[in-house]
């Protein structure tokens, strides 16, 4: 029988006035890829609070949440386990802090990219989902 694992996380889409998005470079098991700043929700923590905490940890910036964009749900069936990722996506804006990199975490770099260049980056698929939610604002908060 395969093990089952579920992970719930919160991520922030932050686009500045110049049309750039702030991304973090994830140190994943298959190499470094670009993701949204964010991450796992602690036990008892509200996703709203988690995205603010995680964003600061990974970028150095304090943010406020502008709106809930939606939820991404991904089921991955590996040979030894079923992995279910739930990603709660928010739009956020910077209200303080300074850009810095996470130390001894799951990311090692934070950087602004023009939205027009995101498709050229080595990135996780959830980034494309989040940008779809950001652009399209589906009323149900889900892309089909």
Is residue 141 a part of any domain in this protein? Answer: no
Is residue 24 a part of any domain in this protein? Answer: yes
Q: Are 78 and 40 in contact (CB under 8 A)?
A: no
Residue 38 predicted with pLDDT over 90: yes
The CATH number of whichever domain residue 115 belongs to comes to 3.90.79.10
Domain housing 25: 3-136
Is residue 142 a part of any domain in this protein? Answer: no
pLDDT at residue 29, as a whole number: 87
Is residue 85 a part of any domain in this protein? Answer: yes
109 pLDDT band (50/70/90 cuts)? very high
Is residue 46 a part of any domain in this protein? Answer: yes
- CA atoms of 96 and 64, how far apart (whole Å): 9
Identify the CA nearest to 54 among candidates 17, 32, 26, 33.
26
pLDDT at residue 144, as a whole number: 78
% of the chain beyond a pLDDT of 90:
87
In Å, what is the CA distance from 86 to each residue of 4, 7, 66?
A: 14, 6, 20
User: Mapping DSSP to helix (H, G, I), strand (E, B) and coil, where does residue 21 land?
Assistant: strand
79 pLDDT band (50/70/90 cuts)? confident
Is residue 31 a part of any domain in this protein? Answer: yes
- CA atoms of 100 and 75, how far apart (whole Å): 33
Is residue 144 a part of any domain in this protein? Answer: no
Is residue 14 a part of any domain in this protein? Answer: yes
Rg of the chain, C-alpha, whole Å = 15
Domain count within the chain: 1
């Amino acid at each position: 029988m395969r093990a089952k694992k579920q992970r719930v996380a919160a991520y922030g889409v932050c686009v500045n006035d110049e049309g750039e998005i702030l991304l973090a470079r994830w140190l994943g098991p298959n190499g470094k890829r670009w993701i949204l700043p964010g991450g796992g929700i602690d036990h008892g923590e509200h996703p709203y609070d988690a995205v603010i905490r995680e964003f600061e940890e990974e970028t150095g910036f304090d943010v406020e949440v502008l709106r809930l964009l939606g939820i991404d749900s991904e089921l991955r069936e590996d040979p030894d386990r079923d992995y279910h990722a739930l990603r709660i996506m928010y739009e956020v804006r910077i209200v303080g802090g300074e850009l810095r990199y996470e130390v001894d975490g799951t990311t090692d770099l934070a950087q602004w990219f023009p939205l027009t260049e995101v498709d050229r980056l080595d990135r996780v698929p959830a980034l494309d989902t989040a940008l779809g939610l950001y652009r399209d604002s589906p009323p149900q908060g889900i892309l089909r």
